[in-house]
Structure 1
Amino acid sequence: MRITRDRVVEERDWIENRTDVVVPIINDVRADLGARFDTDVDAVTEGQYRAEVDAVFADGDLAVNIAAMVAILRTLDVESDYPGFIVDEVLGRELAATIAGTQPLRTLGEATFHYVDVHVQGDEDENAGVDDCEAALAAGFQERLPGWNWTARESPFSVE
């Protein structure tokens, strides 16, 4: 595989074109996790998602790595799927973490990926890695976007 600037643009466009798939996944997982942790979590709009995709891809070093992982996941298919599930899990987890950012969001992105991945199933005609890619996009971007109460407050552990 060769990653060029044009390929980064292509992968960014693919991610943005999945808005109608990824945003509902984000909102479903936020609603479910909010209920499980007894907190209100704001829903994400398609506009917020697209703006965050733009923000991620404005950082060229981040963009090239995300584009490469997305490109691999989009084309990944293993005969009978099950024997290859480890590679799509590893790539999905890393993609979610890379999108999410620094700690603690990075680890939350990884954990959320596994939670989301259990609930996202791809179409029969799609490569096996596509649903892992969508789960990773939802997990990573939902961590970056506002809406969680704990991220909207000053940490009680800040030291001056």
Structure 2
Amino acid sequence: MARKTDLYLFVFPSDYKSLRKELPSMRLTREAVRAEYEWVRDRGSDVVPIVNTVRADLGEAFGTTVDPIGIGQYDDAVDAVFADGDRAVNVAALVGLLRDLDVPGDYPGFVVDELLARELAAMIAGEQPLRLLAEATFHYADVYTHGDADDPAGLDDLDAALAAGVQTRLPGWEWQATDSPFDIDGR
């Protein structure tokens, strides 16, 4: 059976350098990562209520009680994420992209802001299975975030990602309070 092969032709304007000047630049330095860290920490008063709403709703849906969090726990989670330099630089990049991402009319950019935000939530949460849980929780948290008309399109997704990642990373769920029954060493 013959395979159809698509040929993609990328055409760059002859004056590519002038186009590049119009695009924002993202340079990730140690100082830039610190600035994103501080911005994320300062966002706690917006993110913590989303975390607690999501925890209460999911707890009710799953027939359990999930502990709410406070600003101190949010700050501790952000500190832990940014203490890992390799994770911090990637989180900082995603935060910076989402905070400034805007698409006229929003809908055409719907996929890219969802994709970036879902990955940010997963990165904040940690390793598997928490990554996957954070990705799923992002979509739930996103229902509760709506920016103002003049906000960039990615800002509400950024808040939902922060909420989903932190919510998943922090304890408070009953299943997190006990040892796994699947630990082969019985620890």
Instruction: Give TM-score scaled by structure 2 length.
Output: 0.84
Q: Which residue of 2 aligns with 1:18?
A: 43
Q: Which residue of 1 aligns with 2:32?
A: 7
Q: C-alpha root-mean-square deviation of aligned residues, in Å?
A: 0.7
Of 101, 106, 124, 1:76 maps to 101
User: Who wins on radius of gyration, i.e. which is larger?
Assistant: 2
Matches within 5 A, 1:71-150: 71-150=96-175
Rounded to whole Å, the distance in 1 between the matches of 2:121 and 2:153 is: 17
Aligned-pair CA distance for 1:159? 0.8
Q: Which residue of 2 aligns with 1:35?
A: 60
Q: Which residue of 2 aligns with 1:151?
A: 176
Rounded to whole Å, the distance in 2 between the matches of 1:13 and 1:82 is: 30
Q: 4+ residue runs of structure 1 moved beyond 2 angstroms?
A: none
Rounded to whole Å, the distance in 2 between the matches of 1:35 and 1:49 is: 22
Aligned-pair CA distance for 1:86? 0.3
* Unmatched 5+ stretches in structure 2: 1-25
Query: Which residue identity does 2:173 align to in structure 1?
Result: W
Aligned length: 160
Residue 47 (structure 1) aligned with residue 47 (structure 2) = no
Aligned-pair CA distance for 1:157? 1.1
Percent identity at matched positions? 62
* Unmatched 5+ stretches in structure 1: none
Aligned-pair CA distance for 1:124? 1.6
Deviations 1:135-159 (A, max 9, x none): 0000001111110110110111111
Instruction: Give TM-score scaled by structure 1 length.
Output: 0.98
For 2:128, what is the secondary structure of its paired residue? Answer: coil
Query: Which residue identity does 1:27 align to in structure 2?
Result: N
Aligned-pair CA distance for 1:119? 2.1
